[in-house]
């Protein structure tokens, strides 16, 4: 009798475990099993003030991140039906004061960048999204924005926005 109960429990546990599947990834990316292609369209810059190289740098960084951390292949921009598609626009690019001293002088300034992203998913549950992603970086107000701008973009803002978009699309964050 006890042997039958043990066999019954063992069979039950095996049946439960057989029905479960977990997909592990070193990047944390969750890609649909049949997905093979992605189209990251060129990111347009529609911000009133802009950096002339930001669109290209952000587009390339996002494409590189997706192709290096997933099995997806970037297709030509004119490809009408990629499994995943990203359309994005830079909508904000501004400098502002972040901290003021006791004599009404800026002590710290901030560069803010906002990108509006539409993610289209044509495979699996087909749940895409439209969302704005913003990042900022601070710098001493004694420095001219033109001297620190490219470094802030390259080292902080572009990688941060790229990570946020990637995580939202593939890691369900």
Q: Write down the pLDDT at residue 78.
A: 79
For 122, the domain range is 31-170
CA distance 1 to 173: 49
Position 8 in a domain: no
Position 108 in a domain: yes
Q: Please choose, from the candidates 149, 130, 129, 131, the residue with its C-alpha nearest in 3D space to the C-alpha of residue 139.
A: 149
Counting every residue written for the chain, the total comes to 173
Position 156 in a domain: yes
pLDDT in tens, 152-169: 999 999 999 999 999 999
**106 vs 27 pLDDT, higher one:** 106
CA distance 95 to 141: 11
Per 3-state DSSP, the chain is made up of helix, strand and coil in percentages (nearest 5) of 35, 30, 35
Q: Is the pLDDT of residue 146 over 60?
A: yes
Position 114 in a domain: yes
pLDDT in tens, 82-108: 999 999 999 999 999 887 776 667 789
Position 68 in a domain: yes
Its sign, for the CA torsion 132, 82, 36, 71, is negative
Instruction: Pinpoint the alpha helices (H) of 20-157.
Output: 54-69, 145-152
Average pLDDT of span 133-160 = 94
The CATH number for 109's domain is: 3.30.160.150
Position 10 in a domain: no
pLDDT in tens, 41-96: 999 999 999 899 999 999 999 999 999 999 999 999 877 789 999 999 999 999 99
Number of domains in the chain: 1
Position 26 in a domain: no
Q: Write down the pLDDT at residue 79.
A: 74
């Amino acid at each position: 009798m006890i042997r039958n109960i043990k066999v019954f429990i063992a069979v039950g546990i095996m049946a439960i475990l057989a029905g479960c599947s977990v997909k592990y990834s070193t990047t944390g990316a969750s890609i649909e099993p049949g997905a093979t292609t992605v189209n990251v369209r060129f990111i347009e810059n529609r911000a009133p003030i802009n950096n002339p190289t930001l669109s290209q740098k952000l587009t390339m960084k996002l494409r590189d991140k997706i192709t290096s951390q997933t099995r997806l292949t970037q297709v030509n921009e004119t490809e009408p039906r990629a499994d995943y598609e990203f359309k994005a626009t830079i909508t904000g690019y501004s400098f502002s004061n972040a901290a003021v001293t006791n004599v009404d002088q800026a002590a710290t300034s901030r560069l803010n960048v906002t990108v509006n992203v539409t993610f289209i998913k044509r495979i699996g549950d087909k749940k895409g999204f439209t969302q704005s992603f913003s990042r900022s970086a601070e710098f001493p107000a004694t420095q001219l924005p033109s001297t620190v701008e490219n470094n802030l973009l390259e080292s902080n803002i572009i990688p941060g926005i790229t990570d946020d978009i990637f995580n939202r699309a593939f890691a369900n964050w």
